[in-house]
Structure 1
Amino acid sequence: MIIWLASYPKSGNTLLRSILSTYFYSQDGVLQFENLNKISQFPQTHHFLPLGIDIENDKEVFKNFINAQNLINEEKGKLKFFKTHSSLCKMHDCNFTDLENTLAAIYIVRDPRNVVTSFANHYSLNIDEATETILDESRFMEKTFKNCKVFLGSWSSNYNSWKNLQKPKKYLLIKYEDLITKKKSVILKIFKFFDTLGFKLEIDMIKLNKAIKTTDFDNMKTKEEKETFQEALIDDKTGKRKIFFNLGPKNDWRRYLDKKNKEKIETNFYNEMKELGYL
């Protein structure tokens, strides 16, 4: 069964994956970038090759999301984490997932005024372009050599879509801001959530403390300076890999976001931002 780590891009998914992969997949609780591969993204092109799906045909890929998940879940009784930026939606009359394949979802949300500045840096956009992107209700994430095309939606529609798992009690909301300032309590909250799903843990606090310490943003930023972080994008202009761990907690919209785009975001996302305590 799959536990989704779902989010709009640039909302803290990599940080949560780093902590969980370090805790569950390292021997000593010390961050190693390669362990993030143990919590990979869905959908990727390799998920569809065993099904004989033409990965260049986006419609056929969409229609086989659940078939690909059935294949992933053939190994019964094993818990699997997957990152996704997809909305929890229906495309071509086919759902993104179902309750036969999904044990639960942890949704990571971040103040969209900070998402937009991080988004602009990551995708080499100006703030106007990034703002229009996160407002776009019809936005897709385009296919890459590794990842399949998915329906993203706007920041708000993506966030709201995953609430559909609230009713069957398969949904946990995590705020990026809490993950930064109250990391241990948030991770323990996640582990308690796992208990409600029947996934019982004997928590190794020494290992957890090490995982929390080594996934501190400054530590990850320093590590990226010394090692290649494969998830960082290549800059089209320079041909060099861009810095992934750029500002992190220091990304404060009050310093980087102009009044026009601030007001546009707050107006369009007023209900969700109010609900989340961002306004």
Structure 2
Amino acid sequence: MPPTAPSAVPGCDADADFAALGAYVDDELSADARAALQARLASDASAAQRIAAWRAQKAALQTLCRAGDEAASPGYVVLRRRDPWWRRAGLAAAWAVVGAGFAVAAGTLMPQWLPDGAWGGATRDAAGAGHDPAFLARDAEGFARRADVAYAVYSPEVRHPVEVGAADEAHLVAWLSKRLGKPLAIPPLGEYGYTLVGGRLLPGAAGPAAQFMYQNGAGSRLTLYVSVSGRGRDAVHLLSDGNHRTFYWSTDGMGYALSGPATETRLRTIAYEVCGALGGTRAQW
């Protein structure tokens, strides 16, 4: 069955109602008409859900259009599933558009002179071979942005935030260690009020990546993103994006990124703690 239209504005037919909702998304309504429609959305769940879906698709298309511009700031879209199948399909299509845009942007940034390293292509030997350090810096930032996007996508999840829960921690560590080809460890963060939720396998730039999720008593979440980096030891750096932040570094050929909300004032301290627990030294911060 085709998707049903949202309940119509009194006195308007379905086509006019769709046009009014579209104009609302594009900020084309007059002040009075916008106020009236906002009042309606408070009690019309169907119309509110359609507005949310259209805004998500619009943001995804805007992100794709910016992907080829290296000077533009990257955009991120966090989509949540809705019950109707047709809306879930539309949001999935929007994510496919965003993924294609990121793939195009990553292709323009990824160094081609060493295709099999980490940070998406640069290896530890590259710095000693006289290659431009800017390549390495951009690869590291690309790693951080993938971690940041993974946090934005999975931290709001209610029913499926992880693939394997904390109850199976031993299995989780063994499984992800095997997939990444490196022994992994999950640093405890109990002294900061965070307990392990679990983890999942994710695609990285040039191979698999792992994400471990923590949560505190207030429901706030942190994620630790891990992948092979091919880099010996990099200092802890900060990537700040709106209402969340990501601290990232590399130690002994592994890249790490700790992401959390901007409201977590201790996030830098926690990142240093995690860095040290995973083999880092104070010289890195």
Q: Which has the larger radius of gyration?
A: 2
Give the TM-score of the pair, scaled to structure 2: 0.25
Which of 1 and 2 has higher RCO (CA within 8 Å, sep 6+)?
1
Normalised to the residue count of structure 1, the TM-score between the two structures is 0.25
